[in-house]
Amino acid sequence: MDISLIFKCLADENRFRIIQLLSQRKYCVRALSKELGISEPAVSQHIRLLKSAGLLEIGDKNGYHIHYAVNKNHLMLLSEEIKLLADSVRENRVCGGNCKGETK
């Protein structure tokens, strides 16, 4: 799991909104386009990036329409990584650099 890629994907407002919408129900590109007020090609590009980050999966196909769903397991792994990072934060942090010409 490439965490930096996931954060880059989620930093975009439209991609984050797509994740929010797909966490509630499955959508096809056309429905997402109408919901977000952006073009279908733009939605397709966002979906391509979200899929490459592992955040989306194909829910089902209905004729020409592909319905997408959030990959919940990937989101859970991401939340575990964030929790590990939060748990590692020290309360009494000292400077780790060479601010005053000091050596470690």
pLDDT digits (tens, 9 = 90+) for 10-68: 999 999 999 999 999 999 999 999 999 999 999 999 999 999 999 998 878 888 889 99
Q: Across the strands, what pairs with 56? A: 70
- The H or E element containing residue 31 is helix 29-36
The structure tokens listed for 74 are: 């990937």
The architecture (CATH level 2) of 3-85 comes to Orthogonal Bundle (1.10)
Domain boundaries, the chain: 3-85
How much is the pTM? 0.80
pLDDT digits (tens, 9 = 90+) for 10-20: 999 999 999 99
**Distant-in-sequence, close-in-space partners of 97: CB < 8 Å, separation ≥ 6:** none
d(CA 62, CA 42): 21
